[in-house]
Amino acid sequence: MYKKQFSSSYGGASSSRRQSSGRSFSPRRSSGHSGQSRFSGSRTRSRFNSRPQGRGRGTTKFIDPSKFINKAVITEEVDKFIPEHSFVDFKISDILKSNIVKKGYSEPTPIQDKVIPHILAGQDVFGIANTGTGKTAAFLIPLIEKVLINKNEQVLVVVPTRELAVQIEDEFKGFSKNTKLFSLTCVGGVPISGQLRGLRYKNHFIVGTPGRLKDLIERGNIKPEGFNTIVLDEADRMLDMGFINDMRFIINKMPKVRHTLFFSATATGEIEKLTKEFLKNPVLVSVKTGDTAKNVDQDIVRVGRGADKLDVLHGLLNQEDFSRVLIFAKTKHGAEKLSKQLIALGFKSESIHGNKTQSKRQRALASFRNNSVQILVATDVAARGLDIDDVSHVINYDLPSTYDDYVHRIGRTGRGSKKGKALTFV
């Protein structure tokens, strides 16, 4: 039985609501009203029908287009979330408090406010939270404190993607500055030699993807029996990607008595089974606010029969408010091709997908983050976990394979309290 501690959104919406101001995308209501989006090429019969287009990760299941339409709700008065704690209230070291301030953290988010005390107390936690809620800091801050108290402690953080692993290690470096704590990222897609060299030294935190971690454990370079703490982040995504056996392999090599933290954006039956398998008497902390972000304007772009899809995209990207745009393509080849087409049209564009080396993917992300490029074209490898500030628009140039993929794609915009817009080509 979970000990449920929290179930809330960031704050309640007041009764006085208004539609978002500014340029409208003329969304239709989710009832499936047949009026056109302002971006429609012409009124044509939708290509969607009641039949799935195939099965498996490589094909697209039928998703009612009305699910891609949702007007963001702006409240004139939003009840501010009032945390029970401030960062200075937590029983953590002064150096850690100082690093938190230097990183610009003023007060805890809901997930941080509710999770940190339980992790500091050594309890197993099952955290359910949307992306962009401060989940990484929620487990890094108390775990860094745990290792500061006992430098012999080691923490294993398991994540689904290379990008998320790198992002977590970057966060760790900020929180652990001047603490003499060390970390290493172990992910696939890059030469293993550098990771083998890094494992010769003491690493208090190892952040990695399941397949590479399993490989290093089998080689004897990582000894999981020496790790008393494990974080399974984006566990639902790892389950979707087929990493369940690798997760079990890693967990079963660890001590029976351990500290386990499990984070997921969803709480399906399969996820709950895993929590019962991996965790002991966990505290359930839920701050999930819904399937899709309330502050993301969602609309469809109909491409009329005979219209050129790239021309429609070109017209959108030329609009002034499309300042930092994340475009999703279905395949690696498609993402690379589209990025090159956009460059040929005069746009500053980069791409990230599985055919690129890790270093090239990181350079592309860095260019997008620092505004060197306006557009990043990605496959779903980038849909989860990435924290990129101020993405103005997410464009689903190709349809997502599942609605869950859609939710995580559009979660790259409208993060925190900011507004975002998502458009899906149909």
Strand, helix or coil at 46?
Answer: coil
Residue 16 has pLDDT above 50, yes or no: no
Phi and psi at residue 285, to the nearest 5°: -120, 115
pLDDT at 182: 97
Is 47 contained in some domain?
yes
pLDDT at 60: 61
pLDDT at 125: 96
Phi and psi at residue 147, to the nearest 5°: -75, -30
Co-location of 139 and 234 in the same domain: yes
Cα radius of gyration (the chain): 22
- pLDDT tens digit string along 171-190? 999 999 999 999 999 999 88
Q: Are strands 17-19 and 205-208 parallel, antiparallel or unpaired?
A: unpaired
pLDDT at 387: 73
pLDDT at 416: 65
Are 335 and 377 within 8 A, CB to CB? yes
Co-location of 388 and 302 in the same domain: yes
pTM for the full model? Answer: 0.65
pLDDT at 355: 85
Is 37 contained in some domain?
yes
Co-location of 52 and 99 in the same domain: no
Q: How confident is the model at residue 253 (pLDDT cuts 50, 70, 90)?
A: very high
More confident site: 38 or 81 = 81
Residue 36 has pLDDT above 70, yes or no: no
Q: Are strands 17-19 and 73-75 parallel, antiparallel or unpaired?
A: antiparallel
Q: What is the H or E stretch that residue 263 is in?
A: strand 259-264
More confident site: 149 or 405 = 149
Nearest to 57 by CA among 399, 403, 401: 401
pLDDT at 10: 28
pLDDT at 320: 87
pLDDT at 91: 94
pLDDT at 313: 96
Residue 223 has pLDDT above 90, yes or no: yes
How far apart are alpha carbons 33 and 45 in whole angstroms?
13
Task: Show the tokens assigned to 108.
Answer: 């805890």
Are 173 and 208 within 8 A, CB to CB? no
Sheet strand arrangement including 349-352:
296-301, 420-425, 393-396, 325-328, 375-378, 349-352
Co-location of 236 and 98 in the same domain: yes
How far apart are alpha carbons 140 and 48 in whole angstroms?
44
Q: How many domains, the chain?
A: 2
How far apart are alpha carbons 235 and 233 in whole angstroms?
5
Nearest to 246 by CA among 235, 258, 256: 235
414: left (phi over 0), alpha (psi -120 to 50) or beta: left
Q: In whole numbers, what is the pLDDT of the chain averaged over residues?
A: 82
Nearest to 46 by CA among 59, 58, 29, 33: 33
pLDDT at 59: 58
Co-location of 118 and 176 in the same domain: yes
Is 36 contained in some domain?
yes
Task: Say which DSSP state 413 is in.
Answer: S
What does the pLDDT average to over 342-369? 90
Q: Which of 119-133, 225-239, 337-351 has the lowest mean pLDDT?
A: 119-133
What does the pLDDT average to over 365-383? 87
Co-location of 123 and 250 in the same domain: yes
Co-location of 38 and 142 in the same domain: no
pLDDT at 85: 87
- pLDDT tens digit string along 50-61? 333 333 445 566
Co-location of 317 and 352 in the same domain: yes
pLDDT at 417: 67
* CATH code of the domain containing 222: 3.40.50.300
Phi and psi at residue 148, to the nearest 5°: -60, -35
Co-location of 132 and 265 in the same domain: yes
Of 286, 310, 338, at which residue does a domain stop? 286
pLDDT at 44: 34
Of 286, 311, 328, at which residue does a domain stop? 286
Is 89 contained in some domain?
no
More confident site: 255 or 22 = 255
- pLDDT tens digit string along 70-88? 765 443 333 456 778 889 8
Residue 342 has pLDDT above 60, yes or no: yes
Q: Are strands 375-378 and 349-352 parallel, antiparallel or unpaired?
A: parallel
pLDDT at 29: 32
- Number of Cβ within a 10 Å radius of residue 249: 16
What does the pLDDT average to over 246-250? 96
Residue 415 has pLDDT above 70, yes or no: yes
Task: Show the tokens assigned to 110.
Answer: 């809901």
Co-location of 250 and 371 in the same domain: no
The string of DSSP codes covering 316-351 is: HHTSTT--SEEEE-SSHHHHHHHHHHHHHTT--EEE
What is the residue range of 412's domain?
Answer: 9-72+294-425
Is 27 contained in some domain?
yes
pLDDT at 361: 85
Nearest to 255 by CA among 230, 292, 291, 232: 230
More confident site: 408 or 113 = 113
Q: What is the H or E stretch that residue 210 is in?
A: helix 210-219
Is 260 contained in some domain?
yes
Is 85 contained in some domain?
no
Q: Which of 213-217, 253-257, 316-320 has the lowest mean pLDDT?
A: 316-320
Q: What's the number of CA atoms in the CB half-sphere (13 Å) around residue 204?
A: 20
Residue 366 has pLDDT above 50, yes or no: yes
pLDDT at 3: 54
Chain Cα centroid distance, residue 156: 19
How far apart are alpha carbons 169 and 209 in whole angstroms?
13
- Percent residues over pLDDT 90 in the chain: 55
Co-location of 114 and 197 in the same domain: yes
Task: Show the tokens assigned to 352.
Answer: 């990230």
Residue 222 has pLDDT above 70, yes or no: yes
Co-location of 174 and 232 in the same domain: yes
Is 79 contained in some domain?
no
Of 259, 286, 313, at which residue does a domain stop? 286
